[in-house]
Amino acid sequence: MAARAGVGRGTVSRVINGSPRVSDATRAAVEAAVAELGYVPNTAARALAANRTDAIALVVPEPETRFFAEPYFSDMLRGVGSALSDTRMQLLLIFAGSDRERQRLAQYLAAHRVDGVLLVSVHADDPLPDMLSQLEIPAVISGPRSAAETLTSVDSDNYGGARQAVEHLIGRGRRTIAHITGRLDVYGAQRRTDGYRDALRDAGHEADELLIEAGDFTEEGGRRAMAALLERRPDLDAVFAASDVTAAGARHALREAGRRIPDDVALVGYDDSAIARHMDPPLTSVRQPIEEMGHRMIDLLLAEIADRRPPASRELDRRQMVLATELVERASS
């Protein structure tokens, strides 16, 4: 090709890679040669030469069944995929819900087969974030593990969203408000419970621990938790569930107990997923911008990948990004 364009190989490379250090005439000659010869750049070879793989891993430390059952994950995947659509990066989806899967993932990442990692649904005791730090692989997680998170993270305002939900229920005249939590080894679930408690306290209603029941973000967990709450506190008149999927399970238990929604018990969920819109009655829910979270995670990860400073020099620049939530009112409350 260089011979066909009448230039050196270095000049061809600069044109193909978009370098501005080429004259218009030379660029036109190389582009004409590219078109004539039908040249397709070997992206794998270019990435190898630059010590890059042009691949990002989206790692989900959960069973596949949960990934496909909960809208949160599909919305996150949609946002990540959309953000990558204008890049040359490939996206790999990797499940790491068991010890065996985590061991395979560790071997895969240790071979530096990806340029960076997005980690979603992180639990407090999950070893994956520390492993990524040790391997010095750029990483961004969807929600910090704690208030002292050291990795770059993107999250929604779990605390503020929970407060919005409870304040809404108090404003509707509800006084005995129960809460079905998410998994409390997830920091976001802890913050939702904190927001629930503080909203009640600030309104002059101390949180009754008998009105709080542990859930796990699943529909069956929501059903079991709701049944337990009704047995302990049959006088409850509202429920804030830590996810829409959990709220769907709670609805089943309420109906089995003969409770009408919202006449007898108001119900609010979290996520504002398709489940919320299609429930009967439609579910009031806290909307978190999940697709936008995916976009922001990609932006931050690509910036970390492009940062050539030593890892120790980059630690001070770790960012904890928190996006606003919004309460979407529907007939369930």
Task: Place 1 in a pLDDT band, splitting at 50, 70 and 90.
Answer: very low
Task: Place 48 in a pLDDT band, splitting at 50, 70 and 90.
Answer: very low
Q: The domain at 55-155+291-321 falls in which architecture? A: 3-Layer(aba) Sandwich (3.40)
Domain limits, CATH 1.10.260.40, in the chain? 2-41
Task: Place 68 in a pLDDT band, splitting at 50, 70 and 90.
Answer: confident
Whether the pLDDT of residue 321 is over 90: the answer is: yes
Domain limits, CATH 3.40.50.2300, in the chain? 55-155+291-321, 158-287
Q: The domain at 158-287 falls in which architecture? A: 3-Layer(aba) Sandwich (3.40)
Q: How far is CA 220 from CA 42, 138, 189, 265, 311, in A?
A: 50, 36, 17, 19, 43
CA–CA dist 54, 142 (Å, integer): 21
Q: CB–CB of 163/203 below 8 Å?
A: no
CA nearest to 286, candidates 222, 240, 226: 240
Q: Which residue type sits at 94?
A: I
**pLDDT score at 213:** 98
Residues 6+ apart with CB under 8 A from 269: 241, 243, 244, 246, 247, 248, 275, 276, 283, 284, 285, 286
Specify the CATH superfamily of domain 2-41. lambda repressor-like DNA-binding domains (1.10.260.40)
**pLDDT score at 12:** 52
Q: How far is CA 299 from CA 11, 26, 103, 320, in A?
A: 31, 34, 28, 13
- SS3 label, residue 66: helix
**pLDDT score at 47:** 46
Cα 140 to chain centroid distance, Å, stands at 10
**pLDDT score at 45:** 46
> How many Cβ atoms are within 10 Å of 43's Cβ, its own excluded?
12
**pLDDT score at 16:** 55
Whether the pLDDT of residue 44 is over 50: the answer is: no
Q: CB–CB of 301/115 below 8 Å?
A: no
**pLDDT score at 177:** 98
Per the prediction, the chain carries an average pLDDT of 87
Whether the pLDDT of residue 39 is over 80: the answer is: no
Each residue's pLDDT tens digit, 277-288: 999 999 999 999
Each residue's pLDDT tens digit, 152-175: 999 999 999 999 999 999 999 999
**Which secondary-structure segment (H or E) carries 32?**
helix 24-37
